Amino acid sequence: MNVPVGLDPHLAFVRDDVEPRTPEGCQECLRTGSPWVHLRLCLTCGHVGCCDQSPGRHARRHAGLVGHPIIRSFEPGEDWRWCFVDEAPV
């Protein structure tokens, strides 16, 4: 794969048509009744998971288990993205 200099090669995993699977909250926390702090959206499959400050850290766990490296904030008014592999914004 040829990626222009300065671009994260993991951006190849990002899909333009991603829809949140559980727009009402973290998929795993909703199932278990656990609280979350902030939400993150997987830009590969639409998994909604909780942030690293949440008890479950489900967004990071999802990225590690299924190999989907890039998320974006799923909080109102935020549009930043993060690559878990590189531990850096993209």
Model pLDDT for residues 33-50, shown as the tens digit of each residue: 999 999 999 999 999 999
Type of residue at 38:
H
Position 58 pLDDT exceeds 70? yes
Type of residue at 7:
L
Using the structure block, give the residue that is written with the tokens 């909703």: 30
CATH number for 12-89: choose from 3.30.428.10, 3.40.50.720, 3.30.40.10, 3.40.430.10. 3.30.40.10
Question: What pLDDT, on a 0 to 100 scale, did the predictor assign at position 8?
Answer: 82
Q: Measured between alpha carbons, how far is 82 from 13 in angstroms, rounded to an integer?
A: 12
List C-alpha distances in Å: 34 to 10, 56, 57, 61, 87.
Answer: 30, 8, 11, 15, 26
Position 61 pLDDT exceeds 50? yes
Model pLDDT for residues 2-40, shown as the tens digit of each residue: 445 457 889 999 999 999 999 999 999 999 999 999 999
76-90: average pLDDT: 96
The residue extents of the domains of the chain are 12-89
Q: Measured between alpha carbons, how far is 11 from 57 in angstroms, rounded to an integer?
A: 22
